[in-house]
Amino acid sequence: MTSAKFLGRVLIIAGSDSSGGAGIQADIKTVTALGGYAATAVTAITVQNTLGVTDVHLIPLDIVEAQARAVLDDIGADAIKTGMLGGIEMVERVAEILDSASDVPAVVDPVMIAKGGAPLLELRAIEAVRSLMVPRAALLTPNTPEAEALTGLVIRTPDDMRRAGEVLLRAGAQAVLMKGGHMPGDTVIDVLMTPHGETTFETARQETRHTHGTGCTLASACATGLAQGMSLPAAVARAWAYVQEAMARAPGFGAGHGPLDHAWPVR
């Protein structure tokens, strides 16, 4: 158990991205690059590339649950990361899975819209995410549009981000990483908020189109750190630095929102 704990077992419950830049594929690459062990329960198969999502096939609920339980009953998990859930019924089923592993910290990425603009969550499912996933999150990682949808607030400034983060903490999240990349400006500010204080991560904006899968990657990197026994601030700091470098080293693939270089620590 000691070696497994050090390795860090992460169960990822999310959708597949055929282009490999986001979703389950990005999650597996991230966990592996940071020295963890990735297992998966696939919620959906998407047809997509850097130009956008053209089709989505949802996996039956019982199969999703069976995948997760097969992993938890045998290999186990030191952290769980959730991504694309698609609809109310999937949100409800994944909440039940999290309850069955309540001693395992969950990093919840409230995926709603793909980088190219395609919806990845039914509008009617937003309330289910708010009421069922937010209170089960050891760490919630919304970008500003997702935070606006979950709180009903307009977010235009870092102070707006903090106000939204406070609402999400009151809604039950143990910690919230408010991501500011969608806000305009030459500087990108992310804020990790807990009931005990906050940590700010700030950097010059990278002028790049290669941002496909940044949210999935960041959440999975955070989950890996928690699975490996790192403190929350340390796990988020490492994850944040990992994503910045992966963007800077992007291989330049695709004609649209290109993927990151997830494997840079390995090389």
Answer for the pair 165, 136: CB distance below 8 angstroms, yes or no. no
Cβ-based neighbours of 60, under 8 Å, separated by 6 or more: none
Catalytic residue among 50, 165, 179, 224: 179
Catalytic residue among 82, 144, 151, 211: 211
Alpha helices in the chain, H assignment, sequence order: 2-7, 23-33, 61-74, 88-100, 126-128, 144-151, 158-170, 214-227, 232-248
Tokens at residue 244, please?
């910045």
Tokens at residue 213, please?
């899968």
Q: What is the per-residue DSSP string for 26-89?
A: HHHHHHHHTT-EEEEEEEEEEEEETTEEEEEEEPPHHHHHHHHHHHHHHT--SEEEE---BSHH
* Residue 117 φ/ψ region, left for φ over 0, alpha for ψ in the -120 to 50 degree band, beta for the rest: left
Answer for the pair 27, 41: CB distance below 8 angstroms, yes or no. no
Answer for the pair 97, 13: CB distance below 8 angstroms, yes or no. yes
Is 214 among the catalytic positions?
A: yes
Question: In whole angstroms, how large is the CA radius of gyration of the chain?
Answer: 17
Catalytic residue among 50, 214, 217, 224: 214
Is 5 among the catalytic positions?
A: no
Is 258 among the catalytic positions?
A: no
Catalytic residue among 8, 23, 215, 258: 215
Tell me which residue of 178, 176, 243 sits closest to 33, measured CA to CA: 243
Is 215 among the catalytic positions?
A: yes
Catalytic residue among 21, 30, 216, 225: 216
Hey, which residues are catalytic here? Answer: 179, 211, 213-216
